[in-house]
Structure 1
Amino acid sequence: MSLRRAVCGPGGPDRVLPPEVVDLLVAVQAPARLGAHLRLVYDVACEVTGWLSSAHPELVVDVGAVLFGAATHDVGKVVFRQELSVPGSRHEAAGRQLLLARGFPERLARFAGSHGSWRADGVGVEDLLVSVADKVWKGARVEDLEQLLVERIAAASGVPVWEAFVSLDDCLQGLAEAADRRLAFQNGFAV
């Protein structure tokens, strides 16, 4: 089955999606390309949270929530499949609802609805991290999103904003450099 290969087979990142996410994607008959995308964003989120824990341990982050959010953020695209190949945001609310309907708690389901809304009031650092991972996996850098994260890092760490910026920028630039490899893996699976 190509979905299983996309989420935990060879050729992609060494990290595979958590078993509960694999089971969910199989149950909702997710397209293989969606599974590959979620695996790639999850892998990048693992890298970013690992870097953050090491470089800025003062910033308290629910790493488990971030990783779950990265692994499921686009699950609503099983409802709005056209958004796998064209821009759209209808999958966000649909994904949150799908996760809630399958028994996942709001604190985890929220990422499916918030990953495209980093400018909204009340967005937490975990939400920002999922959004950053969802951009940088393909080499995209979003200045206002990254600035929000930089401000959180600086405030928690007590370092100047410019220092937090340089630190985050180094991490994200390194991740962005592998974007072509990630895109090739994702594009190897059908929509």
Structure 2
Amino acid sequence: MARALREPGDPPLRPLPGAVAGLLVELAAPPRLAAHLRAVHDVAHQLVDWVRLRRPALPLDREAVLFGAATHDIGKVAWVAELSGPGAAHEEAGRRLLLERGVEPRLARFAGTHAAWDRPGVGLEDLLVSVADKVWKNKRVPDLEDRLLALLVAAGGGERWAEFLALDEELERIGAGADGRLAFQAAFPVRT
């Protein structure tokens, strides 16, 4: 676990917030989960920085996005099989786990919303966590990206085609590092 939390990776990955790293250690989380959360957290950093640069006046809860990306799959400590196979049981389990440990609902929600981006009322922060959870491995989801694009266009008043091109370019740039992130995650075992 310590290696998954501290090794730099290639490309280098930002460390998880200390409170999240501590929680993963306390829960005896699988090292692969820690590596995955680091990869998605790092991509979320890149996305938030890009949005801030592009739309500095856009209200954006940076802390929420980064915490959400760092904990979105935390329910997989209870549903370890979902680390290497399909399943959604970890989503509600993760939200409950975070709430039980005193995490604010506004932050715990990402454990449930990261895969529910197509529901009504999903906001910018939720979409950024969802996009980060896809593009870390260079997976593109057009409907998800269209939702994010619509919010960016509405907030900035720019031409949709110009915003599309800018978002596409940024996601391609981030996606180019997917092989390194995938290799980093795969280097750690699913079981502790």
Q: Classify the TM-score, shorter chain.
A: over 0.9
The one of the two structures with greater contact order (alpha-carbon pairs below 8 A, sep at least 6) is: 2
Residues 75-90 of structure 1 correspond to what in structure 2 (within 5 A)?
Answer: 75-90=74-89
Quickly say closer, same or farther: Cα 1:4–1:52, change in 2 above 3 A.
same
Letter in 1 for 2:88: S
Taking the aligned partners of 1:169 and 1:76, their CA distance within structure 2 comes to 31
The Cα offsets for residues 141-161 of structure 1, whole Å up to 9 and x where unpaired, read as: 000000000000000001121
Match of 1:26 in 2: 25
1:123 Cα deviation (Å)?
Answer: 0.4
Taking the aligned partners of 2:105 and 2:9, their CA distance within structure 1 comes to 33
Count residues with an aligned counterpart. Answer: 189
Secondary structure in 2 aligned to 1:36?
helix
Match of 2:57 in 1: 58
Match of 1:8 in 2: 6
Verify: 1:93 aligned to 2:92, yes or no: yes
Residues 13-162 of structure 1 correspond to what in structure 2 (within 5 A)?
Answer: 13-162=12-161
Secondary structure in 2 aligned to 1:59?
coil
Asked whether the equivalents of residues 9 and 181 of structure 2 are also in contact (C-alpha less than 8 Å), the reply is no
Asked whether the equivalents of residues 27 and 77 of structure 2 are also in contact (C-alpha less than 8 Å), the reply is yes
Unaligned runs of 5+ in 1: none
Taking the aligned partners of 1:129 and 1:74, their CA distance within structure 2 comes to 15
Match of 1:185 in 2: 184
1:14 Cα deviation (Å)?
Answer: 4.0
Letter in 1 for 2:48: T
The Cα offsets for residues 144-182 of structure 1, whole Å up to 9 and x where unpaired, read as: 000000000000001121111111111100000111111
Letter in 1 for 2:77: V
1:55 Cα deviation (Å)?
Answer: 1.2
1:7 Cα deviation (Å)?
Answer: 1.7
| TM-score for both structures, normalised by structure 2 | 0.96
Letter in 2 for 1:33: R
Secondary structure in 1 aligned to 2:109?
helix
Taking the aligned partners of 1:52 and 1:130, their CA distance within structure 2 comes to 13
The Cα offsets for residues 102-156 of structure 1, whole Å up to 9 and x where unpaired, read as: 1000000000000000011110100000000000000100000000000000000
Q: Give identity over the alignment, percent.
A: 55
Unaligned runs of 5+ in 2: none
Match of 1:169 in 2: 168
1:10 Cα deviation (Å)?
Answer: 3.2
Taking the aligned partners of 1:58 and 1:160, their CA distance within structure 2 comes to 17
The Cα offsets for residues 53-95 of structure 1, whole Å up to 9 and x where unpaired, read as: 0012232110110000000000000011100010111100000
